[in-house]
């Protein structure tokens, strides 16, 4: 079975990397990448024999790694640091370029060389590191999702870049050039991402459309669909983009390294550039928050596969079940409560809380509302 049409670099390279991770399930990977086991083994065999040159349609650009730096290069970098002890990786790189040195690594790689050779005071360096609020312990525990600000295309229309980032590894599971920001568009893009990488445990997003509504109805058709898949939903605090700090930082990097460097004419052209940049970001670019490693070094696909048919909605024995009406409301003990139009025509469970007269409303496995018989919420 042939590979699907896509950028030549992406699928084969990504397949090889993921297949090489500890505990990788090759049969599952082949299904998610839309290839047969025979094709998967063929490319693994070619890669083991000839390395990257065995992947015929992939760029021959070499990878750079701090651990592969030559002893001669490390000596030059250390000498420059000793000559200018206050200079960091960026200044040392420009200094060496001006002295005629070629084929120099990135500034971040030079910084790692300095660290390995005890040329950096770690206590002093910590003062200059950004504050880190949290980090998930494992891949796929949390994905952050957002739209980068849209921009006009030369041929007319707009591009709305959709970004989906794994919190633990910073692996960019999705970078999609969208024509709009509707629920249907995002659901189509997420379905493709889920088929390849599986389902995350939870997703974090802001309060804007299409995954947020307002304080009274924070959920939408899109978030209801994610809950149905067993994905927990979290929304950032209003007017606090820092909650999604990793995705916000990604957007700055995307703008600096790609969007400000190219004139983009159409959505297909945008996607070609997005795919190429995403490969560099995931597989080549050293990340300071990952000890100068690339995101792929810490990522592996989820074991939870995407179901093509939505699973049934099941609740515990003893739960009080109500069906949400067309207006997004339920009736309970002669009271009317609003739970959101996103759940209309679907069953929800009502479970008592510790305080008398208070109940939580559950959709699938997530709490979507809290109601009290002491007052109506209609």
DSSP assignment string, 23-46: T--HHHHHHHTT--HHHHHHHHHH
295, 282 contact by CB (below 8 A): yes
Whether 132 is in a domain gets the answer: no
- Same domain assignment for residues 284 and 199: yes
- Return the residue matching tokens 């002669």: 334
Q: What is the DSSP string of 76-142?
A: HHHHHHHHSTT--HHHHHHHHHHTT--S---HHHHHHHHHHTT-S-HHHHHTTSPP-----SSTTS-
Q: Are residues 28 and 109 in the same domain?
A: no
Does 377 score more than 50 pLDDT? Answer: yes
Q: Which of 17-21, 22-26, 330-334 has the highest mean pLDDT?
A: 330-334
pLDDT band with cut points at 50, 70 and 90 for residue 213: low
- What integer is the mean pLDDT of 310-320? 92
- Is there a domain that residue 347 lies in? yes
Note whether residue 17 is domain-resident.
yes
Residue 178, domain CATH: 3.30.420.10
Same domain, 229 and 176: yes
Q: What is the pLDDT of residue 202?
A: 94
User: From residue 146, how far is each of 181, 207, 289 by CA, in Å?
Assistant: 10, 10, 20
* Cα distance between residue 25 and residue 194, in whole Å: 16
Do residues 210 and 333 lie in contact, with contact meaning Cβ atoms separated by under 8 Å? no
Instruction: Please report whether residue 2 resides in a domain.
Output: no
Is residue 129 pLDDT above 50, yes or no?
no
Q: In the predicted model, what is the mean pLDDT of the chain? A: 83
Residue 311 lies in a domain: no
Q: Is 254 contained in some domain?
A: yes
Going by pLDDT thresholds of 50, 70 and 90, the confidence category of residue 76 is confident
Q: What percent of the chain has pLDDT over 70?
A: 84
Cα 292–Cα 262–Cα 171 angle in degrees, nearest 5: 30
Residue 152 shares a structural domain with residue 213: yes
Question: How many domains does one find in the chain?
Answer: 4
118 in the same domain as 82: yes
pLDDT digits (tens, 9 = 90+) for 232-242: 998 876 545 55
Pairing type for strands 143-147 and 202-205 reads parallel
Same domain, 43 and 70: no
Q: What is the DSSP string of 244-279?
A: GHHHHHHHHHHHHHTGGG----SHHHHHHHHHHHHH
- For 220-255, b/e burial (b = at least 16 CB within 10 A) is bbbbbbbbbbebbbebbeeeeeebbbbbbebbeebe
Residue 135 lies in a domain: no
- Residues 87-127 have pLDDT tens digits of 678 778 877 887 788 788 888 888 888 888 877 765 555 44
Q: Which helix (H) or strand (E) holds 163?
A: strand 158-166
- Does residue 28 have a pLDDT over 50? yes
pLDDT beyond 70 at 142: yes
Dihedral angle over CA of 251, 256, 262, 265, nearest 10: 20
Backbone dihedral region for residue 23 (phi beyond 0: left; psi -120 to 50: alpha; all else: beta):
left
pLDDT number for residue 27: 87
CA atoms within 13 A on the CB side of 358: 6
Pair 178, 290 in one domain: yes
For the residues 206-219, what does the mean pLDDT come to? 73
Judge if 332 and 233 occupy the same domain.
no
For residues 169 and 237, membership in a common domain is answered with yes
* Residue among 263, 267, 273, 134 at smallest CA distance from 204: 134
367 and 331 in a single domain? The answer is yes
Within a domain: residue 61?
no
Q: Find the domain containing 293 and state its range.
A: 143-298
Same domain, 235 and 334: no
pLDDT tens, residue by residue, 29-48: 888 888 888 888 888 888 88
Each residue of 225-280: pLDDT tens digit? 999 999 999 887 654 555 567 888 888 888 888 888 888 999 999 999 999 999 98
Predicted confidence band at 86 (pLDDT cuts at 50, 70, 90)?
Answer: low
Highest averaged pLDDT of the listed ranges 43-52, 187-196, 287-296: 187-196
The reply to whether 121 and 176 lie within a common domain is: no
| pLDDT computed for residue 21 by the predictor | 85
- pLDDT for 122 equals 55
Q: Taking the C-alpha atoms of 41, 43, 47 and 53 in order, what is their torsion angle to the nearest 10 degrees? A: 170
pLDDT tens digit sequence for 337-358: 999 999 999 999 999 988 888 9
> Element (H or E) spanning 367, and its range?
strand 366-372
Q: How confident is the model at residue 145 (pLDDT cuts 50, 70, 90)?
A: very high
């Amino acid at each position: 079975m042939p590979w699907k049409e896509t950028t030549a670099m992406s699928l084969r390279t990504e397949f090889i990397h993921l297949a090489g991770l500890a505990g990788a399930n090759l049969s599952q990977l082949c299904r998610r990448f839309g290839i047969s086991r025979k094709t998967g083994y063929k490319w693994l065999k070619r890669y083991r024999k000839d390395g990257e040159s065995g992947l015929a349609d992939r760029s021959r650009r070499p990878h750079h790694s701090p651990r592969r730096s030559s002893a001669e290069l490390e000596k030059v970098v250390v000498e420059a640091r000793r000559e200018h002890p206050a200079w960091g990786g960026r200044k040392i790189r420009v200094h060496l370029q001006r002295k005629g040195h070629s084929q120099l690594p990135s500034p971040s790689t030079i910084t790692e060389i300095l660290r390995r050779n005890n040329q950096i005071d770690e206590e002093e360096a910590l003062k200059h590191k950004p504050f880190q609020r949290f980090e998930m312990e494992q891949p796929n525990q949390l994905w952050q999702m957002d739209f980068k600000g849209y921009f006009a295309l030369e041929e007319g229309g707009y591009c709305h870049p959709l970004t989906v980032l794994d919190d633990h590894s910073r692996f960019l599971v999705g970078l999609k050039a969208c024509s709009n920001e509707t629920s249907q568009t995002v659901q189509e893009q997420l379905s493709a991402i889920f088929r390849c990488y599986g389902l995350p445990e939870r997703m974090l997003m802001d309060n804007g459309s299409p995954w947020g509504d307002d304080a009274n109805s924070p959920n939408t058709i899109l978030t209801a669909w994610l809950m149905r898949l067993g994905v927990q939903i979290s929304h950032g605090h209003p007017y606090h983009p820092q909650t999604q700090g990793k995705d916000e930082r990604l957007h700055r990097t995307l703008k600096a390294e790609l969007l400000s460097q190219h004139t983009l004419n159409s959505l297909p052209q945008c996607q070609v550039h997005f795919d190429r940049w995403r490969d560099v970001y995931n597989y080549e670019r050293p990340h300071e928050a990952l000890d100068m490693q690339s995101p792929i070094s810490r990522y592996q696909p989820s074991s939870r596969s995407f179901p093509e048919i939505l699973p049934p909605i099941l609740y515990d024995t003893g739960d009080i079940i109500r069906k949400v009406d067309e207006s997004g409301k339920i009736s309970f003990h002669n009271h009317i409560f609003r739970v959101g139009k996103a759940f209309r025509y679907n069953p929800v469970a009502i479970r008592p809380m510790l305080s008398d007269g208070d109940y939580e409303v559950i959709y699938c496995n997530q709490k979507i509302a809290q109601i009290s018989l002491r007052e109506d919420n209609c």
